[in-house]
Chain A
Amino acid sequence: MSAPGPLRVVGRSVRRTDALEKVTGRARYLSDLELPGMAHARLLRSPYPRARLLGVEVARARAHPGVHAVLTAADLTWCEPFYGPALRDRPLLATDVVRYEGDPVVAVAAVDEATAVEALDLVEVDYEELPAVMTLEEALAPGAPLVHAGEPLAGHFSDLSTLRARPGTNICHQFDYARGRGAGGFAEAALTLEDTYTFPRVQHYSMEPHGAIAAWDAEGGLTVWASTQNPFSVRAELAKMFGLPASRIRIAVPLLGGGFGGKTYAKLEPLAAALARVAGRPVRLQASVEDAFRTVRRCSARVRVRLGFRRDGGLVAVQCDADFDVGAYADIAPRVIQKGTYTATGPYRVPNVVLHSNAVYTNTTPGGAFRGFGVPQIAWAVESMMDVAAERLGRDPVDLRRQNLLAHGEEFARGDTPVDGKLEESLSRVAEAIRWHQASAAGRAKGVAVMMKASVAPSVSEAIVRLHADGSASVLVSTVEMGQGARTVMAQIAAEVLAIPLARVTVVPPDTSITPYDQTTSSSRSTTMVGRAVQDAAADVVGQLLKIAAAHLGVPAGALAVDDAAIVGGQRRLGYPELLDLHFGMRGGELIGRGVVAPGRTQAPLGGSTPFWEVAMGGAEISLDEETGAICVEAYASVADVGRCINPQQCEAQDEGAVMQGLGHTLLEEMVYEGGVLLNANLVGYRVPRAEDVPARFDSVFVENADGAGPFGAKGVGEGGLVPVSPAVGNALARLTGIRLRELPLTPERVWRALRARRDA
């Protein structure tokens, strides 16, 4: 139901509901919480990328004063010690082998962190080093050492029940998709291009590292306060591991200091829970930033793409073969590789398609979800090659893209949601914003890139809206507030539908024992899916109010309207408190509305139809210091088709942040391994964008046709802006210098070497 008349709260840049607590330092994050008697945990991590554990001696650590619990794999006989959302391939603590530098071997809980560290110093581990596979090449070589031997168990996702490992190799999942005549389509191509691009291992660096505090109660129930984007997935994981009914587990989520995908699925929660059980007291396991580098990262990739064009520039065939390096444990990477590869054809009309990707284990930090979920890796290759194609065809890159764009309402893939945006409009807006048709100043050049991403499907979101006796409302949803402004947006939607002031709405923080089910805060899905559930739940309350008023006034509900916290009909106006009073016959009681968004499975290739297509386009203008090879992004324009901005200022904030994160992996960021060891697991060695890296000119543009499936025509935003950044910058570099780089990040050294190589050639 959309509210009649003009919108009051939706579509306005209202202040964030959590802004005041954040600017005053009152906001509480996981690391700010303390429980009485709480112990503090530290982990002993493997110094080797791959080794056999010959012995783990912890007696001295156990005897150390102030130590409450020391755990090794051998102690975990009382629970199911394996976990993982796609494959249960990850032990709580290393069993017989360690699989990456940083793999947890021993966990200690003590009176404080210093004592825990002292105890870890007393642990002796006897390792027998084994040959490791550190790169895709090594991991895929015939006869390569296997990161995992034996059959891992399936996780809790139905769409991954068809996980296709290749036994006897390091490939833990393969994704295949084809349509039309597949590779046969290249027979029709007048121009075929083929090339390989690589994408580095990068780190989320949410400023707040992961953390969890676990406590068992006297009845054997478990509560975990966690910095997680998926409280319900964590609950499912813990229920399995500890043999508890879901109802006995409570996952409560405070504010998150950033997430970006790095806090999806269970991370430290299982270990914190196991430690708390043994310690017999609450245990806090707080990661450092160094720990975070050894907890999860983006899956790096090697992407081979073949594009076939007709003479007139129409795409006739696309082939993509991608190997994703998923590190030592699968985490959610099997989903990442299929989601990323699925849209390898971009927002283009392509009749013949053949896609294949592999999720490949290596002895490195596990790869998982990261803003864009596999799409940035693929788009870097495909969108770079679109520019190469334009050059070969003698076409303008924007024109060539325009010619191939899917139309509004056109099918992307059989069974999936048709295109829900006007892609041409987005392309025109990006060309306009980056001043594509004006010549650049000397020493500068521009590049563009476009993308389209599916959101997770099928998925489920539920909401409860409670209208209290005084006419204020509580919104119960399990969307995690990690900076994206979800709490504010949910409050705006409820306030709009209920026709009450924003200040009268409170969004309750996620707590699996209180707030209803939501699959995940990720995939840019919350505004669309949870937002719709909130809209429905609030509409349910309004429906009840109308019925009460209709009965009281003796008129049909259709003759009544909602206006400013009251139901009005003719001359009569009944405020919400009055209506509740009438209904319950006293000052007390509340109306409860429910919203459930559960589109279910479909025939779409990934098992569910995307609730919306996230469309983002980017344009970059760069200059280059030829002496040093340093690229300077002088201007950037980002266009996102969001359907409708619920809060324009927050949309802009999300989009700007996404672009800057994209500039990070485009120009600066890479986790570097040497001799099996991660060299730069800190912010000195791993440089992320600073204020001075922001382009001097920056435009964030929104296409708003209210054509989304979300509330008031909204779609998701938040990931998209990041995706086109690398190819847009790479394309600009090629147009400026003629040099086409296929490896990220585009560091000064890489660019300088390429310039030198060309000069020497």
Chain B
Amino acid sequence: MNIIPIRSSCSIRVTLNGRPVELAVRPEALLLDVLRDRLQLKGAKRSCDMQVCGACTVLLDGAPVSACTFLAVEADGREIVTVEGLGTEERLDPLQEAFIDHAAVQCGFCTAGMLLTAKALLAEDPAPTRERVVHYLRGNLCRCTGYRKIVEAILACAHAR
């Protein structure tokens, strides 16, 4: 069966990495495609494409969402943070520093999602236990690191508070 795409577009306003952005999107457009293809923010990645792996994670009003299965129109009026907005090269977010120091980055394909998920966790709970961190990462897969160094990096930031 063919689903006839609706080619008309609607306008949305979001705060993207701290800056107001207004753009026209098609109703069926996925947030991940809008970010990557329209706005050239390539940090969020597409992997599983079904809300399992977390490579596409962005923060929506501070909460992690899978942009691969999230309609862009649903973001209207909300605040989006992508990895590009997490820190700058001159002033990295402590999580970014910790990921580097703890060798929590290998191929890097999961990294943006891991960082943003961790960011949301620490906002929710500045001093999580190891169990909490591990549990919070349920929706973020990494096929390279074996997770230990990622968990350590996140805990290092928690303890630094």
Interface residues, chain A, CB within 8 Å of chain B? 13, 15-16, 18-29, 31-32, 114, 118, 121, 204-209, 255-258, 260, 288-289, 482-485, 649-650, 652-654, 656-661, 682-684, 688-692, 694, 698
Contacts and interface: CB of A to CB of B under 8 A. Distances in A.
Contacts of B74: none
Contacts of A483: 106-109, 144
B25 interface: no
A141 B47 CA distance: 39
B147 A694 contact: yes
Contact of A257 (B43, B83, B84, B108): B108
A281 B107 CA distance: 30
A23 B96 contact: yes
Interface residues of B, number: 55
A16 B41 CA distance: 23
A207 B53 contact: yes
B100 interface: yes
B143 A29 contact: no
Contacts, number: 165
B120 to A, nearest CB: 15
B34 to A, nearest CB: 14
B55 A207 contact: yes
Interface of B is mostly: loop
A258 B55 CA distance: 13
B87 interface: yes
Contact of B99 (A23, A658, A698): A23
A114 B105 contact: no
Nearest to B93: A23
B43 A25 contact: yes
A661 B143 contact: yes
B105 A19 contact: yes
Contact of A691 (B41, B83, B138): B138
Interface string B46-85: 1111101101000000000000000000000000001110
- Nearest 10 CB-CB pairings of A with B: A25-B43, A483-B107, A257-B109, A22-B108, A656-B146, A483-B106, A25-B83, A660-B146, A683-B48, A683-B52
Contacts of A121: 2
A692 B151 CA distance: 10
A614 B54 CA distance: 33
A16 B87 contact: no
A23 B148 contact: no
Contacts of A18: 108
Contacts of A698: 146, 148
With a 10 A CB-CB cut-off, give which of B48, B55, B88, B103 has the most chain A CB atoms.
B103
Interface in B87-139: 87-89, 92, 96, 99-101, 103, 105-112, 115, 133-135, 137-138
Contacts of B115: 23
A312 B151 CA distance: 47
B141 A207 contact: yes
Contact of B134 (A15, A205, A209, A694): A694
B133 to A, nearest CB: 8
A653 B48 contact: no
5 contacts: A25-B43, A31-B45, A208-B107, A660-B146, A683-B141
